[in-house]
Chain A
Amino acid sequence: MGLVDAASVIETLEAFEPRYLPWLDRHDTLAVLKDGALPRPNSEAWKYTDPVPFFDPQYDVSDRGDTTPIPTTPSHTVGFESDTVRKLVTTYINQAVDQRRYPLAAINYLKIDCGVVIHVQPGDKTESIELGELDGQFQRVLVIVEAEARLELIETTTGSNRIVECFVAPGAKLRHRRLQPPGTGVDYNLVAINIAENGSYSLSQYSTGARLRRNDISVNILGNGAEAELTGAWQLNEALHLDNQISVNHMFAGGTSRQHFRGNVDDRAKSIFNGRIYIAPNAQQTNATLTNRNLVVSSEAEVYTKPELEIYANDVVCSHGATVGQLDTDALFYFQSRGIGEADARAILIRGFLNEVVSHADGRTLLGIET
Chain B
Amino acid sequence: MNLLEISDLAVSVGNQPILRGIDLNVCAGEVHAIMGPNGSGKSTLANVIAGREDYQIDRGRIALEGQEITTLSPEERAHRGLFLAFQYPIEIPGVSNMEFLKAAVDSHARAAGDPEITAVDFMQMARSAAEQLGLNPEFLKRGVNEGFSGGEKKRNEILQMLILKPKVSILDETDSGLDIDALRIVANGISAFTNTINAVVLVTHYQRLLDHIEPDFVHVIANGSIVRSGDHSLALELEEKGYSWLEND
Q: Is A27 an interface residue (CB 8 A)?
A: no
Q: Is B216 an interface residue (CB 8 A)?
A: no
Q: Which residues does chain B contribute within 8 Å of A338, judged by CB atoms?
A: 75, 78, 100, 103-104, 107, 160, 164
Bound-complex Cα distance A355 to B104 (A): 20
Contact A330 B90 (CB under 8 A): yes
Interface locus among A163-171, A195-203, A305-313, A343-351: A343-351
Contact B94 A337 (CB under 8 A): no
Q: Is A1 an interface residue (CB 8 A)?
A: no
Q: Which of B84, B92, B93, B111 contacts A337 (CB 8 A)?
A: B84
Contact B103 A348 (CB under 8 A): yes
Q: Is A328 an interface residue (CB 8 A)?
A: yes
From residue A264, how far is it (CB to closest CB) to chain B in Å? Answer: 12
A-facing residues in B137-190 (Cβ within 8 Å) = 143, 160, 164
A340 and B73 in contact, given A331-B90, A334-B90, A351-B95 (Cβ under 8 angstroms): no
Q: Is B74 an interface residue (CB 8 A)?
A: yes
Give per-residue flags for B63-81: 1 if the beta carbon is below 8 A from chain A beta carbons, else 0.
Answer: 0000000000111011100
Contact B79 A339 (CB under 8 A): yes
Interface locus among B48-56, B123-131, B199-207, B230-238: B48-56
Q: Which residues does chain B contribute within 8 Å of A355, judged by CB atoms?
A: 94-95
Bound-complex Cα distance A312 to B100 (A): 47
Contact A328 B51 (CB under 8 A): no
Q: Which residues does chain A contribute within 8 Å of B92, judged by CB atoms?
A: 331, 334, 349, 352
From residue A94, how far is it (CB to closest CB) to chain B in Å? Answer: 40
Q: Which residues does chain A contribute within 8 Å of B90, judged by CB atoms?
A: 328, 330-331, 334
Count A/B pairs, Cβ under 8 Å.
Answer: 75
From residue B67, how far is it (CB to closest CB) to chain A in Å? Answer: 17
Contact A339 B75 (CB under 8 A): yes
Q: Which of B89, B103, B143 contacts A340 (CB 8 A)?
A: B103
Give per-residue flags for A302-342: 1 if the beta carbon is below 8 A from chain B beta carbons, else 0.
Answer: 00000000000000000000000000101101111111111
Contact B75 A342 (CB under 8 A): yes
Q: Is A356 an interface residue (CB 8 A)?
A: yes
Q: Is A371 an interface residue (CB 8 A)?
A: yes
A334 to B, closest residue via Cβ:
B90
Contact A352 B94 (CB under 8 A): yes
Q: Which residues does chain B contribute within 8 Å of A330, judged by CB atoms?
A: 90
A333 to B, closest residue via Cβ:
B52
B interface residues, tally (CB under 8 Å):
29
A interface residues, tally (CB under 8 Å):
23
A352 to B, closest residue via Cβ:
B94
Bound-complex Cα distance A355 to B73 (A): 28
A-facing residues in B75-115 (Cβ within 8 Å) = 75, 77-79, 83-84, 86, 89-90, 92-95, 99-100, 103-104, 107-108, 111
Q: Which of B50, B79, B94, B104 contacts A351 (CB 8 A)?
A: B94
Q: Which residues does chain A contribute within 8 Å of B51, judged by CB atoms?
A: 336-337
Q: Which residues does chain B contribute within 8 Å of A351, judged by CB atoms?
A: 94-95
From residue B136, how far is it (CB to closest CB) to chain A in Å? Answer: 22
Contact A353 B94 (CB under 8 A): yes
From residue A263, how far is it (CB to closest CB) to chain B in Å? Answer: 14
A336 and B93 in contact, given A348-B103, A371-B99 (Cβ under 8 angstroms): no
B105 to A, closest residue via Cβ:
A339
Bound-complex Cα distance A335 to B160 (A): 12
From residue A235, how far is it (CB to closest CB) to chain B in Å? Answer: 14
A347 to B, closest residue via Cβ:
B103
Contact A337 B50 (CB under 8 A): yes
A348 and B99 in contact, given A333-B74, A338-B78, A356-B93 (Cβ under 8 angstroms): yes
Contact A356 B107 (CB under 8 A): no
27 A-B pairs in the complex with CB atoms less than 8 angstroms apart: A328-B90, A331-B92, A333-B52, A334-B92, A336-B51, A336-B73, A336-B74, A337-B75, A337-B84, A338-B107, A339-B75, A339-B78, A339-B79, A340-B75, A340-B103, A341-B75, A341-B107, A342-B73, A348-B100, A348-B103, A349-B92, A352-B92, A352-B93, A352-B95, A353-B94, A355-B95, A371-B99
3 closest A-B pairs by CB = A352-B94, A352-B95, A336-B74
Q: A334-B90, A348-B103, A353-B94 are in contact. List 5 more A-B contacts (CB 8 A).
A: A331-B90, A333-B53, A333-B74, A334-B89, A337-B51
B residues adjacent to A (C-beta < 8 A): 50-53, 73-75, 77-79, 83-84, 86, 89-90, 92-95, 99-100, 103-104, 107-108, 111, 143, 160, 164
